[in-house]
Amino acid sequence: MEIITLGNDVLRQKALPIQDIDAQVKALAQEMIETMHRGRGIGLAGPQVGLLQRIFVVQIDGESPRVFINPSIIGTSPEISQYEEGCLSIPGLYADVTRPEKVTVQAWNERGRPFTLDAEGLLARVIQHEYDHLEGVLFIDRLSEPKRNRLLTLYDKKMRA
């Protein structure tokens, strides 16, 4: 399983719901976790590996990996914060992104069990970042146009070097 990068159209498409959470989906989740680890990331979404499926995986320092299938963000806090984000699909590019500090998400795990999670801090940020991927949104889309253009110019130069 390979991570696709900026310029691949899949990253800009909305992912489709997973119909059946079966052994194949469980294996997919495990492979995504392994791919995330190889990339030294803390989150990875289906579109980032070329799959237009509503699944992402997250692992924050010291915690077990979490699998989110067909997630919905059902609540966000009014409090917002800014924090530097990067993305395995845009290697070497980092920028401060403003997001709600807390989220409530509903999803299914790899065993087909529904759950609701109240997340805050880094976990909330990663969930929002990965959820954006399912909607065809990248973290650079949340930046001002001048800042995004400046970063994309740097990224293009880096990729050509």
Kindly report, residue by residue over 88-131, the tens digit of the pLDDT.
Answer: 999 999 999 999 999 999 999 999 999 999 999 999 999 999 99
Q: Long-range contacts of range 17-21, CB-CB < 8 Å, 24 or more positions apart?
A: 17/53, 17/54, 17/70, 18/53, 18/54, 18/55, 18/69, 18/70, 21/69, 21/108, 21/110, 21/111, 21/112
Model pLDDT, residue 61? 86
Q: How far is Cα 107 from Cα 98, in angstroms, rounded to an integer?
A: 24
Model pLDDT, residue 161? 74
Kindly report, residue by residue over 32-50, the tens digit of the pLDDT.
Answer: 999 999 999 999 999 999 9
Q: Which residues are catalytic?
A: 130
Share of the chain above pLDDT 90, in %: 93
Kindly report, residue by residue over 132-158, the tens digit of the pLDDT.
Answer: 999 999 999 999 999 999 999 988 888
Q: How far is Cα 126 from Cα 128, in angstroms, rounded to an integer?
A: 5
Domains of the chain, CATH where assigned: 9-160 (3.90.45.10)
The 3-state DSSP class for residue 148 equals helix
Average pLDDT, the chain: 96
Q: How far is Cα 94 from Cα 82, in angstroms, rounded to an integer?
A: 13
Which residues, at least 6 apart from 123, have a Cβ–Cβ distance to it below 8 Å?
A: 58, 60
pTM for the whole thing?
Answer: 0.95
